[in-house]
Amino acid sequence: MSVIAQNLQAVRARIAQAARAVSRDPHEVTLLAVSKTFSAEDVGEAMAAGQTAFGENYLQEALDKMAAVRSMFPHAPISWHFIGPIQSNKTRPIAEHFDWVHSVDREKIAQRLSDQRPDHLPPLNVCVQVNVSQEASKSGAGTEEAAIIARAVAEMPRLRLRGLMAIPEPTDDVMQQRAAFRQLRELYEALHADGLPLDTLSMGMSGDLEAAIAEGATIVRVGTAIFGAREYAKP
């Protein structure tokens, strides 16, 4: 068994344990393997271990990797999730190549993705990114703005509103972790009660996935615990 396969097994065990600890079904939580800065071969190793959903932050790297993976595994079921900040001039290739986008934080970006999503593809699955920690350096809309964006996305013909995403300020304090994730869940519940068709809370990473699952995460985005430490000198 490869190191990546062993790591995936360990992460899946963590997810299952965290879910059962709060009386949730582990199958309610999808593992998104964050493969940014890692190779198509690394993705292939994860696929061989049963992983089918992958998250990417950097568009050009992602497009090259997706093409390489497609040539290696032409018929494999795989879903690609864009999880990084989105510039206006990058929306077309994102709309054309990805299955999910977790990082919509402006109505303008959502509108461009809808306009540029090819008709032959199913609607693009969208999560609105919320800046729950109100960090100036972080992407994401404020709570009130996120609600406005979510309602707009729900009306766009080539998008499918799925839920909310957040990257809270890192902390080792489990209570602080849970408090940040609780904010996102409470916004999710308010929007759901208001009639929006939400089913996804994308929150939790390698260091805090247990707290996220305790607060209702349905997708956890895990990179380091699967692929190892990243080399950020890469573009």
Q: Can you give the pLDDT at residue 139?
A: 80
Asked whether residue 95 is assigned to any structural domain, the reply reads yes
Q: What CATH number corresponds to the domain at position 129?
A: 3.20.20.10
One-letter amino acid of 228: G
Asked whether residue 207 is assigned to any structural domain, the reply reads yes
Are the C-beta atoms of 56 and 90 separated by less than 8 Å?
no
135: containing domain: 3-227
82-110: average pLDDT: 97
Asked whether residue 234 is assigned to any structural domain, the reply reads no
Asked whether residue 232 is assigned to any structural domain, the reply reads no
pLDDT tens-digit map of 37-71 = 999 999 999 999 999 999 999 999 999 999 999 99
Residues in the chain: 235
118 phi/psi in degrees, rounded to 5 = -60, 145
Number of domains within the chain: 1
Quote the pTM value.
Answer: 0.95
One-letter amino acid of 16: A
Secondary structure tally for the chain: helices H, strands E: 9, 8
145-170: average pLDDT: 97
133 phi/psi in degrees, rounded to 5 = -90, 0
Asked whether residue 140 is assigned to any structural domain, the reply reads yes
pLDDT tens-digit map of 205-222 = 999 999 999 999 999 999
Asked whether residue 213 is assigned to any structural domain, the reply reads yes
d(CA 188, CA 170): 21
Residue 79 clears pLDDT 90, i.e. is over it: yes
